[in-house]
Amino acid sequence: MPTDQPLSVLGLSATQEAAYELLVDSPMSTVDELAGRWPYPEPLAPALAALAAAGLARATAGRYAPVPPRAAFDALLADGWRRLHREREETDRLARDRVSGGGAGPVEVVVGAEAVHEHVARAVASARREVRRLGAVGPEPPASVATRTIRPDPPAEPGHHVRTAGVPLDLCLVDDRLGLVPADGDRYGGCPALLVVHPSELLRALGLLFEALWERAGTPPARQEPDRLVGLLLTGLTDDAIGRALGVSTRTAQRRVGAMMAAAGARTRFQAGVQAALRAMPPPASPPR
pLDDT digits (tens, 9 = 90+) for 79-118: 666 666 666 666 555 555 544 444 456 888 888 888 889 9
Contact 178, 108 (CB under 8 A): no
Q: What domains does the chain contain, in order, with CATH numbers?
A: 8-67+220-279 (1.10.10), 72-216 (3.30.870.10)
Mean pLDDT along residues 272-283: 57
Contact 250, 239 (CB under 8 A): yes
pLDDT digits (tens, 9 = 90+) for 14-58: 888 888 888 888 888 898 999 998 988 889 999 998 888 877 888
189 against 198, higher pLDDT: 198
50 against 225, higher pLDDT: 50
> Taking Cα atoms as reference points, which of 141, 111, 110, 106 lies closest to residue 126?
141
pLDDT digits (tens, 9 = 90+) for 56-86: 888 888 888 888 766 666 665 666 666 666 6
Residue 229 corresponds to which amino acid? L
- Strand (E) positions, 62-129? 63-66, 107-111
42 against 157, higher pLDDT: 42
Supply the pLDDT for residue 213: 85
Per-residue pLDDT at 251 exceeds 60? yes
